[in-house]
Structures are given as C-alpha cells and as structure tokens.
C-alpha cells in the first residue's frame, strides 16, 4: 500500500509556537458517579487541546478522539485524569488541556408538599496538565433566587427579587462531590430553586426569600465564608450574576482566594 503523506509532520518556518490546538464542542455520552454511589448518564461537551512547538506545522486531530474513546463512557474525577497524560504521550506535547462540561441532575422534593422534581445544573471538569503535574478545577453553575435588602427596607409593600447564577470553581486536596458544592451555594442565597412547586410550596419559597434578603455582594461573601470552612478546598472563585427584575442590566460580584 502506498504510504500517505503526513502533512502535519512537515516543518513550519514562522517560528511561532501555538499555546493550544485541538478539538472542541465535541458531544460525548458519559456516566458520572454521584454521591449516592449511583451512576448518572449525561452528555458532555468536550474540549481537548495540547501545545504545539514552533517547528511543527500541525497536530494530529484524530488522536484526540482516539484517546477519548479509549477511556470509555464511565468517568469520574479519578478516571478523567488519565486523559491528559495520554494526550501528552500520543501527541508528544508538553502541556495538555481538557474540559468536560455537562448537565448534572438532582432530584429535589418541594419544601412543603414534598412533590419530587428533577433540577438540572451545569458542571465542568477542567484539567491543565504537564508531564510533572496536573491542575484540576471543578466548577458548578447553580441557579438561585435573591431578594434585594434595599428594596425590602424602603418599600411599603413587597420587595423585588431576581433569579441569578452562581459560578463556583474550586481546587481541592481530596475529591469533593458536585452535590456538596451545589448545596453550599444554595444555602448562601435567599432561596434555592425547584423544578416543581405547588401553591403551598410557592408560598413557602416566596416568604423564605423575603425573610432572607441578600445583595449580590452578600451572595458571594456567603459562599466564600462557607468555602473557608471547608478544609479540602484550597482555592475558590465564586462569581454571582443576578438577572435584575427592575433594571435593564445585571448585577455582578466575584471573590477569588487561594488558601494554600
């Protein structure tokens, strides 16, 4: 059989290394182990990349897919760490970066009636790796409700509230369950969200938010304070964005801290 030309291995003369090259927005079925020791099936949006030295014209894109497929559909914090190591070997790279972004579901009972419903969140596994070390970041995106303390203080009737999203990223000594990070964020807001609420539940959630007003500043501080009490969290970045109900803009706050 005639040997096909390998254009990617040709030399490039522009003397410009590339920081990351690879594939992104690849959808891949995965199974994530949850805290109940069960396996949850979901679909991840995957990005895989490596660095490329200045002398190489291109990378071998098919090898990214081969590496991903070789690890099968069952992934957790331990098994996913093998992917960047294999990328480094297969592509002869010095640095690799991977990201798995996927919906994560929890069954939540309504606070009064107990009616069950599934809540969806977004989780991200991200690893930046060299041949000597790996940097793993776990991120959760958690929707919450906040009620404005100022509005409550100055209004004769009611107070404006809004739905927001908290993006909570952590580095850790020991693996942390996605569920525990979600719960930490939800406890820091005026109220958590539910997929199913009957009238008694709606009354309860509305009154709970009214009794627990928080600014966006309070929200990130609450999450940060709770994170400081977790010994296994060595770094965090908590970002809150509120979709304001009486403004045509969003409110935003962020705290980042390294605890090593």
Residue 8: its pLDDT value, please?
67
Q: Which residue has the tokens 């490329």?
A: 52
Q: What is the pLDDT of residues 238-258, one digit of tens each?
A: 999 999 998 999 999 999 999
Residues 6 or more apart in contact with residue 10 via CB below 8 angstroms = 57
Strand 250-258 and strand 134-147: pairing? unpaired
Q: What is the pLDDT of residues 85-142, one digit of tens each?
A: 999 999 989 999 999 999 999 999 999 999 999 999 999 999 999 999 999 999 999 9
Interatomic CA distance for residues 152 and 205, integer angstroms: 16
Interatomic CA distance for residues 163 and 209, integer angstroms: 11
Q: Do the beta carbons of residue 75 and residue 86 sit within 8 Å?
A: no
Residue 7: its pLDDT value, please?
67
Tell me the three-class secondary structure of 54-78, residue by residue.
CCECCCCHHHHHHHHHHCCCEECHH
Residue 53 burial (CB count, 10 A) = 11
Interatomic CA distance for residues 173 and 180, integer angstroms: 15
What's the pTM value of the predicted model, to 2 decimals? 0.92
Does position 4 have pLDDT exceeding 70, yes or no? no
**Candidate from 53-62, 122-131, 200-209 with smallest mean pLDDT:** 53-62
Does position 191 have pLDDT exceeding 90, yes or no? yes
Residue 57: its pLDDT value, please?
79
126 closest CA partner among 87, 180, 192, 80: 80
Residue 209 burial (CB count, 10 A) = 21
Containing H/E element for 122?
strand 116-130
Alpha helices for the chain (secondary structure H): 61-70, 77-80, 82-90, 149-154, 178-186, 199-211, 216-228
Residue 116: its pLDDT value, please?
96
Q: Mean pLDDT, to the nearest integer, of 210-227? A: 97
Q: Mean pLDDT, to the nearest integer, of 202-224? A: 96
Q: What is the mean pLDDT of the chain?
A: 92
Q: Could you give the domains of the chain?
A: 18-258 (3.10.270.10)
Q: Do the beta carbons of residue 238 and residue 224 sit within 8 Å?
A: yes
Q: Mean pLDDT, to the nearest integer, of 75-85? A: 82
111 closest CA partner among 222, 215, 186, 34: 186
**Candidate from 14-23, 50-59, 201-210 with smallest mean pLDDT:** 50-59
Using CB atoms within 10 Å of the CB of residue 101, give its burial: 0 to 12 exposed, 13 to 18 middle, 19+ buried: middle
Instruction: State the helix-helix crossing angle for 61-70 and 82-90, rounded to 10 degrees.
Output: 140
């Amino acid at each position: 059989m005639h040997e096909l030309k390998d254009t990617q291995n040709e030399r490039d003369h522009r003397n410009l290394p590339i920081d990351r090259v690879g594939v992104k927005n690849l959808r891949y079925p995965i199974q994530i182990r949850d805290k109940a020791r069960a396996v949850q099936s979901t679909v991840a949006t995957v990005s895989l990349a490596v660095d490329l030295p200045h002398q190489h014209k291109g990378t071998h894109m098919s090898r990214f897919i081969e590496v991903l497929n070789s690890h099968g559909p069952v992934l957790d914090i331990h098994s996913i760490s093998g992917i960047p190591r294999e990328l480094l070997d297969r592509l002869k790279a010095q640095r690799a970066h991977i990201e798995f972004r996927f919906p994560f579901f929890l069954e939540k009972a309504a606070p009064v009636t107990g009616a069950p419903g599934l809540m969806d969140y977004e989780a991200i596994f991200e690893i930046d790796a060299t041949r000597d070390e790996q940097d793993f970041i776990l991120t959760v995106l958690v929707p919450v409700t906040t009620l404005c303390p100022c509005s409550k203080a100055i209004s004769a009737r009611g107070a404006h509230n809004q739905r927001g999203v908290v993006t909570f990223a952590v580095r850790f000594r020991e693996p942390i369950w996605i569920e525990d990070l979600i719960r930490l964020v939800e406890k820091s807001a005026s109220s958590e969200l539910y997929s199913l609420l009957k009238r008694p539940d709606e009354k309860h959630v509305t009154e709970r938010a009214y009794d627990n007003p928080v600014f966006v500043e309070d929200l990130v501080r609450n999450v940060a304070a709770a994170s400081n009490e977790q010994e296994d969290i060595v770094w965090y970045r908590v970002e809150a964005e509120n979709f304001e109900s009486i403004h045509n803009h969003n409110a935003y706050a962020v705290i980042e801290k390294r605890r090593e």
